[in-house]
């Protein structure tokens, strides 16, 4: 069969293992030189395609590509940019075809979450609607674990492992300080809509009194007095209280805790996230000394503590994406199918993109404990396999060694395009 080029790009918030998927895509492409010529990576996601800002990956050595497997962040640059409808913004799609034709690109791999799946789905219609022969495959990625159909999303397992480990470690810290000092520790984690990451914090402990003592989910309306009663009970019973709170924690009426409408002395909206807000409530209502942490980017960039399961799966979906493309399976996404919980077994299956784009998977109610402050055994059974195994990166001079890309740009053949 004829040889054509491939396009690969990264989109949306990055993860500790999105580059492991890039590694999977690129290494798989390199194993098929008869079918796939060059891999062109879009600089900053789909924007790279629109502006013809392409990185010629053939200039990167096998060693560099292998190093992507243990490099966090998005090595080719990501973007927050969603293609508009083909009907109203036809010029964008015509431009994509122009760029793909100019560089003989017939394979399109887009590595992202729900929004990016929508972009990939639109691109996959170029073939049917505009007659350009392209096979588009979406490579799943999101720390939020909110993609449907796939059992879990690559990127989530590593955040989960980081948050569970950090909760365990910080809990040992406050447990040793609480007799004469700090009584309450609040850890704020990502997850604006779905509480999967907060739930992972609960993996730090299980037995009676083991921290975290409270998990606060976006799925459960925040009830200040109920939370404070539980904090007080925990301090009374165990000497301290550890809380893992989702950034998306909200009141019954949908207002976020972090966006409490407070303004500072200059009339500016109050700064800060959920953790300081909640810690402030603890101080106000109960008077306890507190500490709080906001992990933010640290949690989703923490490749040093990645889950081996997650790294393996991130690589596997990248590899499988190429196989699907070579089989001509347009508008698909490699999804993770759980075969068994214990021992944990999984395989990759193809899922139709139309069933994935723009749909969010929230935590099922049966994963949240009845009192709303913790996880159930069903949730533990689901989450636990995802954090298994360590895959430490190589270290050099005391720090993780990361891939250094040349990022050789492909010569432009087309006039400039404003996005």
Nearest to 29 by CA among 141, 139, 107: 107
Q: Report in angstroms how near the CB of residue 49 gets to its own copies at its nearest.
A: 14
Q: Report in angstroms how near the CB of residue 352 gets to its own copies at its nearest.
A: 28
CB of 31 or CB of 89, closer to its own copies: 89
How far is the C-alpha of 82 from the C-alpha of 12, rounded, in Å? 9
Residue 192 annotated as binding site? yes
Tokens 């250094």 identify what position? 404
Q: What share of the chain is helix, strand, coil (3-state, %, to 5)?
A: 40, 20, 40
Q: Report in angstroms how near the CB of residue 274 gets to its own copies at its nearest.
A: 11
Q: Report in angstroms how near the CB of residue 267 gets to its own copies at its nearest.
A: 10
Residue 88 annotated as binding site? no
Q: Report in angstroms how near the CB of residue 327 gets to its own copies at its nearest.
A: 30
Is 104 marked active-site? no
Q: Report in angstroms how near the CB of residue 164 gets to its own copies at its nearest.
A: 6
How far is the C-alpha of 212 from the C-alpha of 170, rounded, in Å? 10
Tokens 């990248």 identify what position? 318
Q: Report in angstroms how near the CB of residue 24 gets to its own copies at its nearest.
A: 18
How far is the C-alpha of 3 from the C-alpha of 368, rounded, in Å? 50
CB of 351 or CB of 383, closer to its own copies: 383
Catalytic residue among 56, 118, 144, 391: 144
Tally of CB atoms within 10 A around 32: 15
Residue 341 annotated as binding site? no
How far is the C-alpha of 159 from the C-alpha of 319, rounded, in Å? 22
CB of 125 or CB of 270, closer to its own copies: 270
Nearest to 120 by CA among 329, 301, 319: 329
Residue 227 annotated as binding site? no
CB of 169 or CB of 327, closer to its own copies: 169
Q: Which residues are within 8 A (CB) of 233 and not within 5 positions of it... i.e. 6 or more apart?
A: none
Residue 51 annotated as binding site? no
Q: Are 131 and 275 in contact (CB under 8 A)?
A: no
Please give the sequence-ordered ranges of beta strands (E in DSSP) within 193-306, or none if there are none. Answer: 214-216, 241-246, 290-294
How far is the C-alpha of 134 from the C-alpha of 350, rounded, in Å? 18
Residue 355 annotated as binding site? no
Residue 297 annotated as binding site? yes
Nearest to 51 by CA among 13, 85, 79, 87: 79
Rg, Å, the chain Cα set: 23
Residue 247 annotated as binding site? yes
CB of 278 or CB of 351, closer to its own copies: 278
Q: CA neighbours within 13 Å on the CB side: how many for 252?
A: 2
How far is the C-alpha of 220 from the C-alpha of 246, rounded, in Å? 11
Q: Are 277 and 128 in contact (CB under 8 A)?
A: no
The residues carrying an active-site annotation are 144
Annotated binding site for substrate: 142-144, 190-192, 247, 297-300
Annotated binding site: 13, 142-144, 190-192, 247, 297-300
Annotated binding site for diphosphate: 13
């Amino acid at each position: 069969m004829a040889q054509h080029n491939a396009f690969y790009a990264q989109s949306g918030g990055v993860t500790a293992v999105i580059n492991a998927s890039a590694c999977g895509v690129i290494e798989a492409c390199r194993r098929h030189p008869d079918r796939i010529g060059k891999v062109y990576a879009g600089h900053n996601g789909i924007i790279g395609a629109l502006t013809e800002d392409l990185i010629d990956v053939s200039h990167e050595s096998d060693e560099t590509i292998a190093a992507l497997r243990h490099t966090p962040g998005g090595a080719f640059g990501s973007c927050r940019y969603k293609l508009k409808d083909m009907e109203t913004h036809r010029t964008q799609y015509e431009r994509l075809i122009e760029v793909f034709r100019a560089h003989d690109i017939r394979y399109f791999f887009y590595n992202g979450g729900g929004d990016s799946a929508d972009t990939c789905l639109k691109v996959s219609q170029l073939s049917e609607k505009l007659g350009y022969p392209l096979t588009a495959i979406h490579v799943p990625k999101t720390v939020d674990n909110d993609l449907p159909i796939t059992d879990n999303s690559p990127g989530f397992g590593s955040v989960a492992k980081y948050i569970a480990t950090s909760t365990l470690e910080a809990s040992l810290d406050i447990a040793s300080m609480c007799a004469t000092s700090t009584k309450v520790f609040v850890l704020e984690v990502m997850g604006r809509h779905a509480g999967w990451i907060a739930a992972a914090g609960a993996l730090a402990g299980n037995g009676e009194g083991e921290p975290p003592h409270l998990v606060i989910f976006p799925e459960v309306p925040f009830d200040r007095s109920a939370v404070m009663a539980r904090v007080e009970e925990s301090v009374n019973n165990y000497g301290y209280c550890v809380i893992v709170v989702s950034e998306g924690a909200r009141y019954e009426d949908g207002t976020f805790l972090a966006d409490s409408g407070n303004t500072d002395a200059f009339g500016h909206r109050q700064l800060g996230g959920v953790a300081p807000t909640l810690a402030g409530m603890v101080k106000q209502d109960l008077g306890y000394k507190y500490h709080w942490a906001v992990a933010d980017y640290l949690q989703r960039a923490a490749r040093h503590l990645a889950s081996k399961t997650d790294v393996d799966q991130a690589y596997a979906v990248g590899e499988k994406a190429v196989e699907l493309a070579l089989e001509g399976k347009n508008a698909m996404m490699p999804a993770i199918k759980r075969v068994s919980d214990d021992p944990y077994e999984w395989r990759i299956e193809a899922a139709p993109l139309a069933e994935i784009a723009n749909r969010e998977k929230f935590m099922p109610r049966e994963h949240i404990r009845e009192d709303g402050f913790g996880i159930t055994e069903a949730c533990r059974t689901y989450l636990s396999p995802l954090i298994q195994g360590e895959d430490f990166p190589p270290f050099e001079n005391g720090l993780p060694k990361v891939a250094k890309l040349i990022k050789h740009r492909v010569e432009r053949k087309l006039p400039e395009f404003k996005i």
